[in-house]
Amino acid sequence: MVNGTQPWRDYSQCEEEMESTMEEEGARQLMVSFKVLYTVGYSLSLLALVSALLILTIFRKLRCTRNYIHANLFASFGLRAISVIVKDALLEKRWGMEILHVSDWEALLSNEAAVGCRVAQVMMQYCILANHYWFLVEAVYLYKLLIGAVFSEKNYYMLYLYLGWGTPVVFVVPWLAAKYLKENAECWALNENMAYWWIIRIPILLASLINLLIFMRILKVILAKLRANQKGYADYKLRLAKATLTLIPLFGIHEVVFIFATDEQTTGILRYIKVFFTLFLNSFQGFLVAVLYCFANKEVKSEMKKKWQLWKLDHPVLCCTQ
């Protein structure tokens, strides 16, 4: 009390609390903006990937091992986008609810409430691994194509399926078991024990490093063939190489740069920079993959043009009245 009438207040403490509140509000607004960014990215990617899958499925002339591999890559990105969108919806439903009664806290903290979110989290981690291993398949297939290796595409395609869809299971299952037994809290998004986090990240880093090595080998092969001025070198091989060489650095460099910078280990402006680039690249990667491997593909555009011309011939009345 001051003069026995008014309580004493430390106004400097009030100012610090106000500054802290403003910083928290600014951080919250920034994260909301990030969420809008990656939601748009994943939604756009999902739309592009579904369209690309339909194109590769509908047109018979596009059915070949190369495009089957593309289709599996599209599917892995599409499933990843769906799992992220579903996980966010479940988080919004469970963790974004307004707490009015004690029963609300019980529902929020209950293990049953988190089951759906955890399933989506597991699916998302599986799809992230599948993305990298299907892209590894893309790189391996392209390298074998460029060096002119003779191989049975049918037999190798089965191996590609095991590598692309099977390898992630080998790592996701132990990660799931570790989370369930040791860190069975909320949506399994936090990494209290980094050893469990590395179960998922090491295979991603390994795939990224192998992709970068293949990237350098492919560059060497292409430069050698261009120097030799080989005539008759298949145009589609160079186009496939161009698309793959564009994507390998995008995948590999991004993962190698941020592999050790987890959300728990980065703070301040560095964390926001890392979060922005990670969310932006991850959410729009599917769109870029669909564009490079499908919509910008010369064969796809040629086949769609032919189908459009045939459709106009079959529907002359509709075309003429436009």
Provide the Cα torsion 234, 248, 66, 81; round to 10°. Answer: -150
Quick one: pLDDT at residue 78?
94
- Beta carbons within 8 Å of 50's beta carbon, 6+ residues apart: 78
Quick one: pLDDT at residue 233?
53
- Cα of first residue to Cα of last residue in the chain, in angstroms, is 86
**Per-residue pLDDT tens digits for 76-103:** 999 999 988 888 887 776 655 443 443 4
Q: How many Cα neighbours within 13 Å face the side chain of 257?
A: 13
Quick one: pLDDT at residue 105?
38
Quick one: pLDDT at residue 107?
47
Quick one: pLDDT at residue 170?
96
- Evaluated on CA atoms 59, 64, 65, 66, the torsion sign reads negative
What is the 8-class DSSP label of residue 186?
T
Quick one: pLDDT at residue 55?
92
Cα–Cα distance between 201 and 207 in angstroms, integer?
A: 10
Quick one: pLDDT at residue 268?
66
Nearest-5° Cα angle at 239, 236 to 242: 150
Cα–Cα distance between 277 and 149 in angstroms, integer?
A: 38
Domain limits, the chain: 38-301
Q: How many residues in total does the chain contain?
A: 322
Three-state SS at 6: strand
Quick one: pLDDT at residue 31?
76
Residue 87 · residue 187 · CB < 8 Å: yes
Q: What is the pTM (predicted TM-score) of this model?
A: 0.78
Q: Which residues of the chain have pLDDT under 70?
A: 1-27, 93-113, 149-153, 226-241, 243-245, 247-268, 311-312, 314-322
**Per-residue pLDDT tens digits for 178-203:** 999 988 877 787 777 888 888 998 99
Cα–Cα distance between 113 and 186 in angstroms, integer?
A: 9
Angle (deg, nearest 10), helices 111-146 and 167-182: 160
Quick one: pLDDT at residue 235?
63
Quick one: pLDDT at residue 300?
84
Quick one: pLDDT at residue 39?
92
Q: Which CATH architecture fits 38-301? A: Up-down Bundle (1.20)
- H helical segments located in 188-267: 194-227, 235-258
